[in-house]
Structure 1
Amino acid sequence: MDVSLTFSFFLIFTGAAIFASLALATRQPLIIAYIALGACIGPYGLSLVNDTQLLAEIGHIGIIFLLFLLGLDMQPQALWTTLRKSTVVALASSVVFLAMGFGVARLFSFSNADALVIGAAMMFSSTIIGIKLLPTTVLHHKRTGELMVGLLLLQDLLAIIVLMALFSAAADTGNMGRDLAVSLMGLPLLGGAALMVVRFVLLPLIARFDRFHEYIFLLALGWCLGMAEAARALGLSEEIGAFIAGITIATSPISQYIAVNLKPLRDFFLILFFFSVGARFDLALLQLVWMPAIVLAVLVLAVKPITYRWLFKGVSEQRSLAWDLGFRLGQASEFSLLIAYVAAGAALISAEASLLIQATTIITLLASSYIVVLNYPSPIAISDRLRRD
């Protein structure tokens, strides 16, 4: 059924409100609601919304804003305090999780290319689950929050490197190494130019017109999207440009004001992105990957907490804190969905491999949410004893 874009938006956002209500009532992350809605009313469900390509392109703007805001939150001083310990944990755990995903994929006869991307997608933990289920006072004032934020930021950097490799491979699979090298050379060039523009153009403009809030909002949008286009012109991705745009302005006092004001706009586009992920979830193919998805999901839920506990204990953290962090980070990530989306869209992996990553991620997000909510302090804990804000 062909419907107008306006009617599609009506179905998506009305349905998202209904599904989000159910998700909140059952203590689930909202991205699960958006993905489930896409599966229900998308082309593989009730077929009420069929133009998922257009929605995916619109939703891609949400990913650009997501990385821009991530850059805004990446304060160099705060990151440096936990960088040493978090780096050891991030790199060592990534190797373990990459090997785990690769091994399971090869066990179920996926190709080496599929297995490598599947393994890469398993390296990361969910920023949304980790941050949203951590009490605010713990997030900002306790050792748990410092270590979690430091580790998640380092994982986000690794995810960006993986995405850069995928974009380079998508551009020309026969020259992936050369393209990646050129992209990496363009990265410091873009960063240096961005710093100069921020210092000599943006900050003076902000200082002069900071009382005009609408102007700051427009300036932030223009800077984010302008850097995204500049990155694309240099052979990088729009996401990388947006991330650099955020980092270069992060030390400015206005950065948190920009972050707060852009979050609703980011959420609008991210709803469309996660809806399009669910809409592309071919339920007919699920029978082909349900077994490896369950095996991989169980391994992620078991191996990640144990690995994080062992690594954090190895860098002199208390045992109770190490277990707490391990279970809070014991799932796949929204970046896993993004990696599956990018790799499948560029025909770098099979449809079955993409579906395996998506199914595993969704299962682990669901299960991990329940584990944390039922056992550790969180803002949405069912028990009054564990409910913390």
Structure 2
Amino acid sequence: MAAGFESVALLIGAATFLGILSQKTGQPKIIAYIIAGISLGPVGLDLVKQGEMINLFSELGLVFLLFLIGLEIDIEEIQEVLKSTVGIAVIQMALTFAAGTLTAILVGFTGTTAYIIGAAVMFSSTALVVKVLTERDEETTLPGRLDVGVLLVQDVAVVVILAFFTVNFSTPAQAALKLAEIFLMISIVAAISFGSSKYFFSKVMKSISGNRLAFFTHGIAWAFLFISLADYLNLSLEIGAFIAGIGLAQIPYSRELQEDIRPLTDLFMAIFFMNFGISISGSSLQQYFIPAVIASILLIVFKFLIFFLTIDRFKFTPKTSFTASVNMTQVSEFGLILTSLAITQGFVQSEISGFVSLVAILTMGTSAYLIRFRDKLEEEFKPLLDLFKSEEKTDLEVERLEDHAVIIGYDEMAEKTCSKLAEEYDIMVIDQESDKTEELAESDYTYVYGDFKHGEIRQGANLKKAEFILSFSKQKQVNNVLLEERDEETVVFVKAGNFEDASEFYDLGADYVMIENILAGNRISEYIEIYLEDKEVFNKEINSELQHIRGDEEFPN
């Protein structure tokens, strides 16, 4: 049986293989990791055992997961629905806790164990839901924002419960006092995080933004600074990481930092969930398989109904209520974390991990297919949904980035171009020059700091929904990626360093190519004006210019 570095190496290899396999099958990676842990551990092949190094990596996985989740929470994006989502989340968590506890009792659990199971199942999976919303381009829709807002409140509840589990109390009065103390300490850490991120750390990141390694290490160091602060105040390490992430999410550099930190987080989290699988005994899997199947069916139904009826009570349309509810029917990865902590603290027996793991696997797997076939389900249930329609139920109008213009690179020419395009479009600017950060952050444009080649940055640009994309980047790779990923209907202007690259960009579908050091490159504002006024004239101008490129002729002045 492998231990130490051998165990970690084996788990990393398994994580890599299973990550690819789960992506191809459309299943959440978390499921694959838990199954891998069960297969490699004592229940299966008995190749890996728990040890100090694996436990350390698991702890880092949990810390980095909370840091990354915090980094992904831009409060401005959910501000329009924040009031509603807080109400929805509080009601939903209370009702789901009750439903989860009742379900646990129905399948044979009693006392503290039933309450722990109720707490474990009341959250939905942030990792799964955010990933699916992003893939389906739904994170900025109203149902998407409702789900993200609810997940934010759930995440805050998780870090409070994590802290609460680690304190000792013997009476309700002591428990209330400890809870008030936890909230006070969290508020202090949050205030420090938000203030220092905005007024101090953003300047630090600006000064080292050109050095990607320094950018990454400073971000990690900032996380561990707040982890240490949380530890000093007797809060959990996860709270410090989560609050550090939320603070950084409010500054322009957060998306670039997400891109750098995600691979490391994915690695540590894979080890965490595989370690959880290793800890499960074969007897608990056999003992709890049938109860877990029954509980999973009940919980999926209960969670859907609780979400749907709660959102409906806040006067959203049945379609919005249905869409948002189907997305949230699974048990969260945090359920596994709470169960693990409850076992460590001695609240429940270790055998319970098998039951909770099976429920998580079954609900996550089922949820993935429910979301995939959500539109068909909506059609099937349309007669029932129509019963909930009423004139007083309306959806909020949320701002969504679509039919916009994306500008990649921000130089003097781009600045002039933006002022012209702003007359017709909402503008998003993507740039990684640190000397432009403050100017762009204070402008009326949507601004993302970072390298366009990075997936997190391109996701934020919503390229498929853009109507106009203009790249002032000199990097051929940037423009190739842009032309491959943009929608066919989107008008694209790019920059080329020579005739050969310009010809290639035209072959890839560019509408106009600016050639560096050629006078035609300075005619961009003129071409944009022609495009906005008369697209047929624009096409004739571009076709004429393209003939010069193909024929290697001299450009007209």
TM-score (structure 1 length as normaliser): 0.89
Letter matched to residue 66 of structure 1: L
Q: Where do 1:253-264 residues align within 5 Å?
A: 253-264=252-263
Gaps of at least 5 residues in structure 2 are: 377-484, 486-557
Match in the other structure for 2:93: 94
Letter matched to residue 317 of structure 1: F
Structure 1 residues 168, 205: CA separation in 2 closer, same or farther (over 3 Å shift)? same
Structure 1 residues 75, 375: CA separation in 2 closer, same or farther (over 3 Å shift)? closer
The question of whether the paired residues in 2 share the 8 Å contact of 1:59 and 1:269 is answered with yes
Match in the other structure for 2:36: 37
List per-residue Cα deviations over 1:65-92 (Å, max 9, x = no partner): 1111222222222232111221222111
Question: Is 1:71 matched with 2:70?
Answer: yes
Structure 1 residues 230, 286: CA separation in 2 closer, same or farther (over 3 Å shift)? same
Structure 1 residues 264, 59: CA separation in 2 closer, same or farther (over 3 Å shift)? same
**How far apart, CA to CA, are the structure 2 residues paired with 1:264 and 1:46?**
28
**How far apart, CA to CA, are the structure 1 residues paired with 2:346 and 2:175?**
14
**How far apart, CA to CA, are the structure 2 residues paired with 1:72 and 1:24?**
23
Task: Give the stretch that moved more between structures: 17-26 or 45-54.
Answer: 17-26
Match in the other structure for 1:225: 224
Q: Where do 1:8-27 residues align within 5 Å?
A: 8-27=7-26
The question of whether the paired residues in 1 share the 8 Å contact of 2:50 and 2:278 is answered with no
Q: Where do 1:247-286 residues align within 5 Å?
A: 247-286=246-285
List per-residue Cα deviations over 1:162-212 (Å, max 9, x = no partner): 22221225xx66765544433333222223333454355423322323222
**How far apart, CA to CA, are the structure 2 residues paired with 1:376 and 1:57?**
43
Structure 1 residues 327, 361: CA separation in 2 closer, same or farther (over 3 Å shift)? same
**How far apart, CA to CA, are the structure 1 residues paired with 2:116 and 2:45?**
31
Displacement of 1:17 after TM fit?
A: 3.1
List per-residue Cα deviations over 1:96-134 (Å, max 9, x = no partner): 110111122234453422121111111111122222223
Greater strand proportion = 2
**How far apart, CA to CA, are the structure 1 residues paired with 2:246 and 2:23?**
32
Structure 1 residues 254, 165: CA separation in 2 closer, same or farther (over 3 Å shift)? same
**How far apart, CA to CA, are the structure 2 residues paired with 1:247 and 1:22?**
32
The question of whether the paired residues in 1 share the 8 Å contact of 2:15 and 2:271 is answered with no
**How far apart, CA to CA, are the structure 2 residues paired with 1:113 and 1:146?**
35
Task: Give the stretch that moved more between structures: 150-159 or 177-186.
Answer: 177-186
Task: Give the stretch that moved more between structures: 127-136 or 173-182.
Answer: 173-182
Across the aligned residues of Structure 1 and Structure 2, the Cα RMSD in angstroms comes to 2.4
Structure 1 residues 352, 256: CA separation in 2 closer, same or farther (over 3 Å shift)? same
Displacement of 1:249 after TM fit?
A: 2.2
List per-residue Cα deviations over 1:35-79 (Å, max 9, x = no partner): 111000113321111134531321211211111122222222223
**How far apart, CA to CA, are the structure 1 residues paired with 2:86 and 2:144?**
16
**How far apart, CA to CA, are the structure 2 residues paired with 1:128 and 1:242?**
16
Structure 1 residues 284, 29: CA separation in 2 closer, same or farther (over 3 Å shift)? same
Q: Secondary structure at the match of 1:316?
A: coil
**How far apart, CA to CA, are the structure 1 residues paired with 2:86 and 2:336?**
24
The question of whether the paired residues in 2 share the 8 Å contact of 1:43 and 1:49 is answered with yes
Match in the other structure for 1:337: 336
Letter matched to residue 218 of structure 1: T
Structure 1 residues 17, 249: CA separation in 2 closer, same or farther (over 3 Å shift)? closer
Greater helix proportion = 1
Task: Give the stretch that moved more between structures: 179-188 or 275-284.
Answer: 179-188
**How far apart, CA to CA, are the structure 1 residues paired with 2:260 and 2:53?**
26
The question of whether the paired residues in 1 share the 8 Å contact of 2:4 and 2:54 is answered with no
Q: Where do 1:307-346 residues align within 5 Å?
A: 307-346=306-345
Return the index of the structure with the highest Cα Rg: 2
Q: Where do 1:118-133 residues align within 5 Å?
A: 118-133=117-132
The question of whether the paired residues in 2 share the 8 Å contact of 1:28 and 1:369 is answered with yes
TM-score (structure 2 length as normaliser): 0.63
Letter matched to residue 129 of structure 1: L
Q: Secondary structure at the match of 2:166?
A: helix
Q: Secondary structure at the match of 1:159?
A: helix
The question of whether the paired residues in 1 share the 8 Å contact of 2:61 and 2:265 is answered with yes
The question of whether the paired residues in 2 share the 8 Å contact of 1:60 and 1:273 is answered with yes
Displacement of 1:147 after TM fit?
A: 1.5
Structure 1 residues 138, 32: CA separation in 2 closer, same or farther (over 3 Å shift)? same
Structure 1 residues 54, 43: CA separation in 2 closer, same or farther (over 3 Å shift)? farther
The question of whether the paired residues in 2 share the 8 Å contact of 1:183 and 1:234 is answered with no
Displacement of 1:141 after TM fit?
A: 3.7
**How far apart, CA to CA, are the structure 1 residues paired with 2:198 and 2:86?**
30
Percent identity between the two aligned chains = 27
**How far apart, CA to CA, are the structure 2 residues paired with 1:161 and 1:60?**
17
Displacement of 1:9 after TM fit?
A: 3.0
Match in the other structure for 1:288: 287
Q: Where do 1:1-389 residues align within 5 Å?
A: 1-5=1-5, 7-134=6-133, 136=135, 138-169=137-168, 176-199=175-198, 201-376=200-375
Match in the other structure for 2:495: none
Q: Secondary structure at the match of 1:322?
A: helix
Letter matched to residue 240 of structure 2: G
Gaps of at least 5 residues in structure 1 are: 378-388
Q: Secondary structure at the match of 1:15?
A: helix
Displacement of 1:271 after TM fit?
A: 0.9
Structure 1 residues 197, 372: CA separation in 2 closer, same or farther (over 3 Å shift)? closer
The question of whether the paired residues in 2 share the 8 Å contact of 1:129 and 1:328 is answered with no
The question of whether the paired residues in 2 share the 8 Å contact of 1:168 and 1:180 is answered with no
**How far apart, CA to CA, are the structure 2 residues paired with 1:198 and 1:268?**
26
Q: Secondary structure at the match of 1:139?
A: coil
List per-residue Cα deviations over 1:200-251 (Å, max 9, x = no partner): 5423322323222221211111110121121011110000001111122222
Instruction: Give aligned pairs, total.
Output: 376
The question of whether the paired residues in 1 share the 8 Å contact of 2:139 and 2:148 is answered with no
